[in-house]
């Protein structure tokens, strides 16, 4: 491909010479022997240009923005497509994790926590019954108080989500 001057490249891209000069100055496109390889420069221009920045210093509006602050349909559509693609990717990741057995339903976790809590509470309460006969009344009262505090710290032993009635 023939190398172009900055003026020729600006005409080819239909941008101002100043825009090309700034792109070269900022390192967004590179010169080869003082000239521009249009194929490489087009690729670099596309990859290195931040579309969120103003299109020019005269109106200060980003590309795709109108004078009233509205965004063009193409910019809005691009945003929509990007958000939709990100949501689709997240759904696919969740589906894959589920298929690999890396995800557990919340209801199963809640049931397991409930069962563990109830077993811990019941076993703590049995301590007093088993040791009560050999403890002094003061020691038994202290033990009962400590067990009650631990059970209260564990929280109420109830299901987080209601279970449907069988009838």
Give the confidence band of 59 by pLDDT, cuts at 50, 70, 90.
Answer: very low
In sequence order, the β-bridge partners of residue 50 are none
Q: What is the pLDDT of residue 91?
A: 93
Out of 16-25, 92-101, 115-124, 153-162, which region has the weakest mean confidence (pLDDT)?
153-162
d(CA 160, CA 101) in angstroms, rounded, equals 24
Q: What is the pLDDT of residue 58?
A: 42
Out of 72-81, 118-127, 147-156, which region has the weakest mean confidence (pLDDT)?
72-81
Inter-residue contact 67 to 61 (CB < 8 Å) = yes
Mean pLDDT over all residues of the chain?
80
Segment 93-121, tens digit of pLDDT:
999 998 888 888 888 888 888 889 889 88
User: What are the residue ranges of helices labelled H in the chain?
Assistant: 6-13, 17-25, 38-48, 73-99, 106-131, 137-154
Q: What is the pLDDT of residue 138?
A: 93
What's the whole-number mean pLDDT along residues 153-166? Answer: 60
> Is the pLDDT confidence value at 38 over 80?
yes
Segment 72-95, tens digit of pLDDT:
555 677 778 888 889 999 999 999
Neighbours of 125 (CB within 10 A): 13
CA distance readout (Å), 49 to 23, 62, 123, 149: 9, 12, 66, 63
How many CA atoms are closer than 13 Å to the CA of 23, on its beta-carbon side?
28
In the chain the beta strands, taken as DSSP E runs, fall at 31-32, 35-36
């Amino acid at each position: 491909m023939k190398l172009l001057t900055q003026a020729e490249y600006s005409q080819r891209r239909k941008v101002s010479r100043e825009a090309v000069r700034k792109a070269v100055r900022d390192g967004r496109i590179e010169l080869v022997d003082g000239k521009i390889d249009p194929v490489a420069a087009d690729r670099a221009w596309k990859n290195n240009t931040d579309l969120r920045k103003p299109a020019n210093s005269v109106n200060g509006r980003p590309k795709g923005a109108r004078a009233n602050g509205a965004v063009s349909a193409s910019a809005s559509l691009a945003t929509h497509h990007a958000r939709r693609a990100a949501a689709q990717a997240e759904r696919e990741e969740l589906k894959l994790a589920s298929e690999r057995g890396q995800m557990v339903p919340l209801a199963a976790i809640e049931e397991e926590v409930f069962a563990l809590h109830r077993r811990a509470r019941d076993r703590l309460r049995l301590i007093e019954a088993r040791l009560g006969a050999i403890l002094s009344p003061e020691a038994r009262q202290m033990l009962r108080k400590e067990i009650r505090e631990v059970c209260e710290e564990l929280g109420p032993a109830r299901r987080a989500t209601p279970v449907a009635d069988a009838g």
